[in-house]
């Protein structure tokens, strides 16, 4: 009896302990939810601090919080380009902000158009007589371009800067697939449609090489022109023509080489940089750590400066990332999700619509679903403009065709008007292991397409015919939109990719300009004056899981700021580029094996894959979380 009583007391104690633990977890979670939204009360005089520990994007990727928490890895940081521009423009006019400070120690870039857009906002801050200071261990291409617009560019003495220029190598699997006797059935239209080449060849075709030589040459010229205008003393040509001699002249000291070339202004560690900033904006009364200075972070600043919403709304729908079937996103352009947002806006009495595109394309069916949804809004008699960001190619151009006017930047990548599909079969591979397929067919299409037994000539002909029909539909949509003949469109199509400057010359783009220009054009067409309209971002509101997750996974101080982390040195940065290329292997092979319909996708336009850290022991938990979500 005594033993039973002890066991009972033990069970009660365990129960009480677990209840206490769950109660603490509940109140902790409740506190985090209540404090996750940035508090405008955190805004203090000093510097606007932009800690760009990630990439600049058109639309932040949706986060599965349970998956991230179970994996123990914080998601890669993302910063909405329009948020950054709004923050900088409001900071330029606010007396509380004495300077703008940008920490790019872990900056991952964001594309030339995004850098130009944010760089122009930095120029407006400087025009308001407020200094802009940047710090990084190592600056790479996008970082160099952005920092060129700063008043003072600092680099760690153990770091420096490197300029590689656009372009690089892609991986080709043609010989690998032959070795394993995998037959990649390719159906395409477009001499320049290079997205299928990795599965057929071991090198780039001459038409593709011709196309991308022209494209990258234009992008490189625009990059150099932007940096030269913002930082005339920078010796870009010297760095590009003989980078080895440039570094060797500084005895292998990357930081000194960057200083000599005018890419950076001063060398110093984070503490020395902080002391310099403190002389401009004042010391932080709440933080006595070396190098601390008075500042306000991006999130509370945005919370304190929410955009005004006067007059009638002009809708802005963002199509960012690969266009896919289903409800995916944000950060990926799920056709169902975006069409749903546009359908919901039918009752919003919009004065007009701006379609913001930053996509290399993807599913033809999803692209068409989005196009139809845009046309439903357009049928209400409102003007529709398209604003192209870094990318608006293939499916990204397909969804642009309903626009009354198309805006792009000279460095926008667009075009790639072509269609393809890739379906692998494994009959030869399985035959080596004694596996065959056989059966009775009532028609030539019974059991086709057969991934195990292979395709017959009839299914091959039917699928190629379907791809050709899809290409004709693409040409027709572009021809109607651009008021050209299909023959004229075909000459500039064939999967060829164009820079924004050339695209304007050949009629695929109407004029240069960014999102503000597109909004102003729509307002003018709707006969609205300044102050009589505002931009309404469709589907913009998102829960702020990112703030909570950073506090839990990374840790942080009372203001939610993670502990200071030094950026990677030059060797680590260069090695990281190879990690991204290795990660591309998985992405390319996954694309081959994934069941997909017709694709309007631009391989060379797609952003480089960033290597993601993962804990093998937690992968099954992350998978479970994805199933629960």
What secondary structure does DSSP assign to 64-112, as a single string? -HHHHHHHT-PPPEEEEHHHHHHHHHHHHT-TTEEEEEEE-TT-----H
d(CA 251, CA 264): 17
Q: Between the CA of residue 263 and those of 22, 152, 224, 245, what are the distances in Å? A: 54, 10, 12, 16
Q: Which among 98, 188, 193, 256 is annotated as catalytic?
A: 193
Residue 578's Cβ-count burial label (10 Å; 0-12, 13-18, 19+) is exposed
Element (H, E) at 187: strand 183-189
What does the block give as tokens for 615? 């804990």
What secondary structure does DSSP assign to 273-289, as a single string? HHHHHHHHH---TT--S
* In contact, 197 and 204? CB cutoff 8 Å: yes
SS3 531: coil
Please state the length of the chain.
Answer: 629
CB atoms within 10 A of CB 78: 19
Element (H, E) at 534: strand 533-537
d(CA 184, CA 198): 10
* In contact, 90 and 305? CB cutoff 8 Å: yes
d(CA 10, CA 535): 62
Q: Which among 55, 71, 105, 394 is annotated as catalytic?
A: 394
For the chain, the distance separating the N- and C-terminal CA atoms, rounded to the nearest angstrom, is 48
Q: Tell me, yes or no, if 483 is annotated catalytic.
A: no
Q: Tell me, yes or no, if 437 is annotated catalytic.
A: no
d(CA 318, CA 357): 6
How many Cα neighbours within 13 Å face the side chain of 560? 20
Contacts of 380 (CB under 8 A, 6+ apart): 346, 350
What does the block give as tokens for 212? 């991308």
Q: Between the CA of residue 552 and those of 70, 73, 544, 546, what are the distances in Å? A: 11, 10, 13, 10
* In contact, 60 and 330? CB cutoff 8 Å: yes
- Partners of residue 184 on adjacent β-strands: 424
What does the block give as tokens for 250? 């500084």
The closest of 79, 94, 164, 84 to 117, measured between CA atoms, is 84
Query: How does 477-514 read in b/e, with b if 16+ C-beta sit within 10 Å?
Result: bbbebbebeeebbbebbbbbbbbbbbbbebebbbeebb
- Return the active site residues: 193, 394
């Amino acid at each position: 009896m005594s033993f039973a009583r002890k066991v009972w007391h033990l069970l009660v104690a365990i129960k009480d302990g677990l209840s206490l633990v769950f109660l603490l977890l509940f109140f902790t979670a409740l506190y985090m939810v209540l404090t996750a939204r940035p508090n405008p009360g955190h805004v203090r005089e000093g510097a606007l601090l932009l800690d760009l520990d990630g990439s600049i994007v058109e639309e932040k990727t949706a986060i599965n919080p349970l998956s991230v928490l179970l994996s123990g890895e914080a998601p890669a940081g993302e910063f909405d380009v329009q948020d950054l521009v709004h923050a900088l423009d409001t900071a330029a006019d606010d007396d509380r902000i004495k300077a703008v400070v940008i920490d790019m120690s872990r900056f991952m870039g964001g594309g030339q158009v995004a850098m130009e857009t944010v760089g122009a906002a930095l120029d407006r801050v400087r025009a308001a007589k407020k200094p802009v200071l940047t710090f990084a261990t190592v600056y790479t291409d996008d970082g160099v371009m952005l920092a060129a617009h700063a008043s003072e560019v600092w680099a760690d003495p153990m770091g420096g800067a490197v300029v590689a220029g656009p372009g690089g190598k892609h991986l080709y699997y043609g010989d690998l697939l032959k070795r394993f006797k995998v037959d990649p059935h390719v159906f395409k239209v477009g001499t320049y449609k290079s997205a299928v080449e990795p599965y057929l060849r071991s090198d780039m075709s001459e038409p593709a090489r011709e196309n991308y030589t022209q494209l990258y040459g234009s992008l490189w010229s625009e990059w150099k022109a932007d940096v030269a205008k913002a930082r005339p003393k920078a010796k870009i040509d010297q760095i590009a023509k003989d980078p080895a001699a440039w570094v060797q002249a500084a005895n292998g000291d990357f930081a000194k080489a960057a200083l000599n070339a005018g890419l950076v202004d001063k060398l110093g560690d984070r503490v020395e940089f902080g002391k310099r900033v403190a002389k401009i904006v004042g010391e932080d009364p709440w933080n006595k750590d070396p190098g601390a200075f008075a500042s306000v972070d991006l999130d509370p600043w945005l919370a304190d400066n929410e955009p005004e919403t006067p007059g009638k709304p002009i809708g802005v729908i963002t199509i960012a990332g690969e266009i896919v079937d289903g409800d995916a996103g944000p950060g990926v352009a799920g056709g169902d999700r975006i069409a749903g947002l546009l359908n919901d806006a039918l009752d919003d009495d919009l004065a007009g619509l701006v379609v913001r595109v930053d996509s290399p394309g993807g599913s033809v069916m999803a692209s068409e679903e989005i196009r139809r949804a845009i046309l439903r809004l357009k049928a209400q008699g409102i003007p529709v403009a398209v604003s192209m960001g870094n990318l608006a190619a293939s499916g990204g151009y397909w969804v642009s065709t309903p626009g009354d006017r198309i805006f792009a930047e000279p460095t926008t990548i667009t075009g790639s008007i072509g269609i393809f599909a890739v379906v692998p079969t494994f009959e030869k591979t399985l035959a080596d292991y004694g596996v065959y397929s056989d059966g009775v067919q009532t028609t030539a299409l019974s059991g086709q397409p057969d991934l195990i037994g292979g395709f017959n000539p009839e299914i091959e002909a039917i699928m190629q015919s379907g791809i050709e029909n899809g290409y004709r539909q693409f040409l027709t949509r572009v021809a109607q939109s651009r008021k050209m003949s299909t023959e004229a469109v075909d000459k500039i199509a064939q999967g060829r990719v164009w820079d924004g400057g050339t695209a304007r010359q050949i009629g695929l783009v109407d004029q240069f300009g960014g999102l503000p220009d597109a909004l102003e054009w729509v307002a003018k067409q709707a006969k609205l004056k300044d102050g009589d309209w505002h931009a309404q971002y469709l589907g913009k509101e998102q829960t702020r899981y990112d703030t909570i997750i950073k506090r839990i996974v990374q840790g942080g101080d009372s203001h939610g700021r993670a502990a200071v982390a030094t950026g990677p040195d030059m060797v680590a940065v260069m090695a990281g580029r190879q990690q991204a290329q290795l990660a591309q292997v998985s992405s390319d092979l996954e694309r081959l094996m994934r069941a997909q319909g017709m694709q309007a996708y631009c391989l060379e336009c797609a952003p480089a894959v960033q290597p993601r850290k993962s804990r093998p022991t937690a992968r099954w938990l992350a998978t479970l979380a994805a199933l629960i979500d």
